[in-house]
Structure formats: structure tokens, C-alpha cells
Amino acid sequence: MKIYNTMTRQKEELVPLEPGVVKIYACGPTVYNFIHIGNARPLCVFDVLRRYLEWRGYEVRFVQNFTDIDDKIIRRANEEGVSYDVIAQRYIEEFWKDAKGLGVREATIHPKATENMEEILSLIGGLVEKGYAYRAANGDVYFRTRKDEHYGKLSHQPIDDLESGARIGIGEEKEDALDFALWKAAKPGEPSWPSPWGEGRPGWHIECSAMARRYLGETIDIHCGGQDLIFPHHENEVAQSECCNGVPFARYWMHNGYINVDNKKMSKSLGNFFTVRDVAEQMGYEPIRFFLISSSYRSPINYNAEIIGQGKAALDRLYTCRSALDDAEASAPEGAADAAFAAKCGERREQFIAAMDGYRARFVTAMDDDLNTADAIAALFELTKDINVLIASGGPSKGTCRAARTLFGELCGVLGLLYDRKEEELDAEIEALIAARTAARQNKNWAEADRIRDELKARKIVLEDTPQGVKWHKA
């Protein structure tokens, strides 16, 4: 598999440090509010990356953190008159509602910053000992950015360009405007922890470096996150980790593109800011996931309600195909009858099996090319078309149905689709209405049949008359 490495700006063959094992660190949410659709993109994209690597036989150790102490969390807690941990726990729970709604699997571990203070202090201590960090007069501890001769290598920004935009804020006592905080001295009314440099709390950047080192080691395979994190967050992670540990921090860096809303940058000030929860209440969670993975993960994508609606329609095609497969398999011959079918329709069956192998190969080729989910989804829908044609052409055997169902399920599973599939049940009254409509059609009482269809439609039950009988689904 080749992935685009932000560090080198080129596609590179994925060669894990440990054969057969891929260690991935993904930046998780700062838990002070509901996640928005921009937050959801890396969740879904890198969930697909993990699923695909596991499908290809790798053991994936996937770490995604919760930033549960931060200026924004403290501000929200003060506004509500509660402690920071109340806010953090509330929005961790809300995060899981949305993440599970989106079909995102739990990581191998979800560490919290506040549960890793010992590791954070150890990393800061190592940087101070090596001269890469210093304690300011106000108790803050800063990283000496200029001491790292490679600073800026991830974002590909010369130090002089970075310097032009750097400022020393009110209350900061830095040696240099480019220096960033590793430890923030305690302020009145804020939570704090003991440290060799006085009471305080960690800076944002050091938290991820510490948790990555603790759970994955000093060098990880893939570090991923949104494009907005390249600078300064990931740049600072690289600097502090490599200066302390003396080894490369991450072998590959993957970053997803931005989400625009109606071709404008999403922002609260423009009033085009949408949470996942808000969109899901209108359109459902799975269409959001489909939208987020349907384009190249590195490209910007444009959100609007119409696009989500198109995703919902596309998902309906997949659900319909899977239901048709189930029906075809249930009615298909077994044993000798299956052999008779193979003898009668052997050429068509062999062509279909060969086509399935081709779709699998197309899917793998797409995903091996920097997680090209757009082409992978295209292969899935071509497979769907072939399955529908096969079913409509005369009833495949059970063996053919099983083979199609297996491949169809595998590809959907890698993409994390069709997870909302449930066995649909009808109550006795609805079943009676369908039976009555069938009897009316047999008696050529078309007016009564149409009346019953309309009644069922009003109850969100949609009927479809097929050569195999009446099919139904909920609207």
C-alpha cells in the first residue's frame, strides 16, 4: 500500500517498523462541545484506513486520545459553574453517541490527557535536561524552538517565515516569540497538578507526544489528523518528541482535507457551522459517513444537504441489493438442483465469479493507492449492478449467492457501510394488509389493491412487485 506522506510530500510504500503490525496515532477531540462535520471527517477516514489494513492481514494498534484539559474546556466549565471534568465527561459521552452513529469503531485505546500526567512530566523533564526547554519566571515551561534545527520540516515552512507571524502574548515570558508552552503555571480558579516547575497543567501539544510514546513507543508508523493540525500542533509534536527521544517520531503523516459549506469555509461567524448531531437528526448518520469517505481524503469537500441526500440514495441501492441477495439465496436450489443450475447456466456463473474476482482486485488497487475510497466505492457499485443483473436474469444458485454476499459484505465492511442493516419486522396488521392486497391483485380488483398500497405508503411501508413476489421496505 502506498500513502501520501505529508513530511516528504510524496506517495510512499507503507513499510511498518514491526513486520505485520501498524501503529497509528490519531488526534482525537477536545471535549467541550458536540463534534461538527469537520471533526467527523478524520474519524471516518482513518476508521476506513484501520479497517482496510486489518482486512489485508495487519495487526493494527490504533490510539486516539481525548484532550480532556484545555483552555476551551476550562472556559466552558466556568460559564456553566461546574468543574472541568464534568464538561469533559459530558462531551466524551456525546462524542461516543455520534461516533457510534457514524459506525466508527473504538480504538485499541482512548487515553485521556489527565490520566497521563506522569508521562507528560517525564517528557518535559527530558527536554529541560537536554536544554530544549526552560522554565520562565512566571512558572511556564517553554520549548526552545530555535534550538531544533529541523523545526518546520513537517509544514515545510522556513523558520524566518514562521518568525514573521509569531507574537509574545500578554502574560507570556518567552525567550523567543516562536517558543511554545509545554507546561502552564497554575492560575486562580483553574485545575492544576504538581510538577518540578510548580503547580500547573500541560500544554496541548505535549499531551499527544506523551500519549503516543506511552502506548505506541518512541517511533510510530502513522500519525494522522486533519490538515488544520499540521501547524502548529503536529509540527510541535515532531519537535518535542524527536528532541527528547532522539529518534524519528512518525514514519508517515496522513492529513485529510477541509470541509467547506456551500463552497465557503465552515465557521460559526458565517452561520454555516453544523454539528454531526444536527445533520444526523435530519438525514441519519450513515449518509454522513458515506459523504465523508466518498472523495479522496486529501481533497477539500463541499457539504450541503443535497449531497447528503444523494449519499442516502446511494446507500439505499446497497441496502436493496443486499436484501435482494438474501431473498435470492433463500429461494435458490441446493445440492443436486444447484448442480443442475451450474450445468445449465455454467458459463454465466463462471463469468460472474470471474467478474467478482475483478471487482475485488479493483477495490484493492484503489485502496492501495493512498486510500482511494472514491474508486473503491465505484468498484462496489459496479459489483452491485452485476449482482442485480444476475438476480434479475433467472435466479442464481445458493453457491453463487453466498459468494456474492461474502464479497459484497467484505467490501462494505472495509468501508464501514451497511452497519445500520436490521432485520425488519411487520406487525400482524401490516402483514394482513399485504396479504389482502395480494389477494385483490389475484382477483383483478385493482382499485382495492391500489387503495391498500396507498394505505401502506402512508404508514411508511413501500411495496415493490417483482417476478419473485412482493418485496417491501420501510421508507
In this predicted model, what pLDDT tens digit does every residue of 226-242 receive, in sequence order?
999 999 999 999 999 99
* pLDDT tens sequence across 401-447: 888 999 999 999 999 999 876 544 445 677 788 878 888 888 889 88
Residues 6 or more apart whose CB falls under 8 angstroms from that of 325 comprise 387, 391, 401, 404, 405, 408
Q: Which of 121-130, 298-307, 420-429 has the lowest mean pLDDT?
A: 420-429
Question: How many of the other CB atoms lie within 10 Å of CB of 191?
Answer: 17
Residue 475: per-residue pLDDT = 57
Query: From CA 62, how far away is CA 54, in angstroms rounded?
Result: 11
3-state secondary structure of 169: coil
CATH topology of domain 314-415: Four Helix Bundle (Hemerythrin (Met), subunit A) (1.20.120)
Query: From CA 41, how far away is CA 301, in angstroms rounded?
Result: 10
pLDDT band at 458 (very low <50, low <70, confident <90, very high): confident
pLDDT band at 467 (very low <50, low <70, confident <90, very high): low
Between these two residues, 467 and 162, which has the higher pLDDT value?
Answer: 162
Place of cell 506523551: 210
The answer to whether 2-132+146-167+203-256 and 314-415 have equal CATH topology is: no
Residue 143: per-residue pLDDT = 98
* pLDDT tens sequence across 182-200: 999 999 989 999 999 999 9
Is pLDDT above 70 for 309? yes
Between these two residues, 200 and 271, which has the higher pLDDT value?
Answer: 200
* pLDDT tens sequence across 314-340: 999 999 999 989 888 888 776 545 555
Query: From CA 321, how far away is CA 323, in angstroms rounded?
Result: 5
Give the mean pLDDT of the chain: 90
Residue boundaries of the structural domains of the chain: 2-132+146-167+203-256, 314-415, 428-474
Is pLDDT above 50 for 122? yes
The residue-averaged pLDDT of 200-229 equals: 97
* pLDDT tens sequence across 59-109: 999 999 999 999 999 999 999 999 999 999 999 999 999 999 999 999 999
Is pLDDT above 60 for 341? no
Between these two residues, 209 and 331, which has the higher pLDDT value?
Answer: 209
pLDDT band at 263 (very low <50, low <70, confident <90, very high): confident
pLDDT band at 347 (very low <50, low <70, confident <90, very high): low
Three cell numbers at 1?
500500500
pLDDT band at 49 (very low <50, low <70, confident <90, very high): very high
Residue 470: per-residue pLDDT = 72
Q: Which of 118-122, 224-228, 272-276, 365-369 has the lowest mean pLDDT?
A: 272-276
Residue 460: per-residue pLDDT = 72
Query: From CA 61, how far away is CA 23, in angstroms rounded?
Result: 5
Which superfamily does CATH assign the domain made up of 2-132+146-167+203-256 to?
Answer: HUPs (3.40.50.620)
